[in-house]
Amino acid sequence: MKIDLNRSDGSTTTFDLSVKPSDIELETDLARVKDDISVKGAVSSEDHYTVIEAEIAAPLEIDCSRCLERIPVDQEFAFKTAFASAQQLTEEIEVELDLQDLELSFAEEDEIDLRDVIREQIVLNLPAHPLCREDCKGLCEICGGNLNKASCDCEREETDPRWAALKNLK
């Protein structure tokens, strides 16, 4: 869905979309879209801006940050963002930005693709350090085995890392 940034009639257009996983490439190896993404929202024009307010429900698979197992996550959130085309904001118009305008984006073209906005919002709302469970043991640093599934017999030398440089002295 393309959104015209030059619309200035002040009207609000609502939308209810179902976006297929093949239409959204998250561009990260840490998360994958499992099923259709539901997006409901509205597009309106305010002053020199086009404002998008929407709710996203995205079924994802995210890798655990410790053991790399896939975790099913149903991401649901609302967002509001504003866009302005370069032509809308000329040098002649002086614009004072306040705190709420930090979500303002500038587009080089006169239209934006809503799929790009959806992708950006999903990636911005990914958890920073997802865990499959709170007590995840992670991977063995020696053999790489998942310590949640089985313990390994790798020999670990308990050395304080501050003294590790002294091991090389002879």
Predicted TM-score of the model (pTM): 0.73
pLDDT at 99: 45
| pLDDT at residue number 91 | 43
Q: Residue 89: its pLDDT value, please?
A: 54
pLDDT reported for residue 25: 84
Amino acid at 7: R
Q: Would you state the pLDDT for residue 88?
A: 55
120-138 confidence digits (pLDDT tens): 899 989 998 999 999 999 9
Instruction: Compute mean pLDDT per 10 residues along the chain, 170 residues long, and list them.
Output: 67 86 83 92 80 92 93 92 68 51 62 84 90 92 88 77 78
- Measured at the CA of 93, the angle between CA 89 and CA 98, to 5 degrees, comes to 80
Q: Quick one: which of 22, 86, 13 has its CA closest to 53?
A: 13
Question: 98-106 contacts: CB < 8 A, separation 24 or more?
Answer: 104/49, 105/81
Structure tokens at 88: 């809308």
Residue positions counted in the chain = 170
pLDDT at 95: 55
- Angle subtended at Cα 54 by Cα 49 and Cα 58, rounded to the nearest 5 degrees: 140
Predicted local distance difference test score (pLDDT) of residue 167: 77
What is the C-alpha to C-alpha distance for residues 123 and 56, in angstroms, rounded to an integer? 12
